[in-house]
Structure 1
Amino acid sequence: MVVEVRSDEQGYEGAWFSAKIVSYLGGNRYTVEYQTLKTDDETELLTEEASASDIRPVPPTLIQRARQYELNEEVDVWYNNGWWSGQVYTINNNYTRYGVYFKTTDEKLEFEYSDLRPCQVWRKGKWNLDLDR
């Protein structure tokens, strides 16, 4: 089963990485194999334990490219092999590049429209657009 796993490692807090569940360990713990992260020697995909609270299904793709983003909107950005949550702080004139502020790292970076998706939150077994943050 392909899922996304939230990292709590320093410098990666709040980022979600694509993974597949390898096994159930009991006590709401799983072994996951990341699809975009490799071991330190870069020879294998990284495998580690994850808590069920740090695992969610992959968000639906239907709304990911449906519209333009607005100033101050919460978005997820494909960056550094995962999806990172941030806030739009600037937009170029033709809505093809966006400046995004990342609170967890206090960084401002620019991205192409294709690198963004609406911020969605997995709550009570279903996906919700996170418009309330």
Structure 2
Amino acid sequence: MAQFKPGERVEVSSNDRGFRGSWYAGTVVRREAKNTNRYVVEYDQLYEDGSGEKLLQETLDWIQLRPPPPPPEKKKVQFKFGDEVEAFYSDGWWEGAITGEHSGGKFAVFLQRL
């Protein structure tokens, strides 16, 4: 079981319908005292309401958290049709696959939103 400390950066997966396969950036606020398998996380870009003033905090099971990825390498990555990737869409990272290549080093990605 992973253990995260307050202030530690994490990515959060969602079990909500329409959001499975997505990961959102956040920071651990605290570990629950009664259930040490659960953490309170504050999201970086998700808000409690439409005003965009108060960041959303949520209590989550440890299995929904992962460390953020390492910084990208400086070398150019070569993608090809069918490669599994994560693409930034709608304030989060979504699991997908390369379905085509466009000019300028851009790619079409199929995002399976469950």
Superposition deviation, residue 66 in structure 1? 3.6
Q: Does 1:97 align with 2:106?
A: yes
Give the number of equivalent residue pairs.
104
Partner residue of 2:59 out of 49, 55, 61: 49
Superposition deviation, residue 23 in structure 1? 0.6
In the superposition, relative to structure 1, how do residues 15 and 65 fare at CA in structure 2: closer, same or farther (>3 Å)? Answer: farther
RMSD after superposition: 1.7
> TM-score, with normalisation over the residues of structure 1?
0.71
* SS of residue paired to 1:31: strand
Question: In structure 2, what residue type is equivalent to 1:20?
Answer: T
In the superposition, relative to structure 1, how do residues 9 and 35 fare at CA in structure 2: closer, same or farther (>3 Å)? Answer: same
Superposition deviation, residue 103 in structure 1? 2.1
Partner residue of 1:35 out of 34, 44, 56: 44
Report the identity percentage: 31
| Greater relative CO (CA pairs within 8 A, separation 6+) | 2
Partner residue of 2:30 out of 12, 23, 37: 23
Where has structure 1 moved over 2 Å in runs of 4 or more? 62-66
Q: Give unpaired runs (5+ residues) of structure 1.
A: 106-133
Q: State the partner residue of 2:5.
A: none
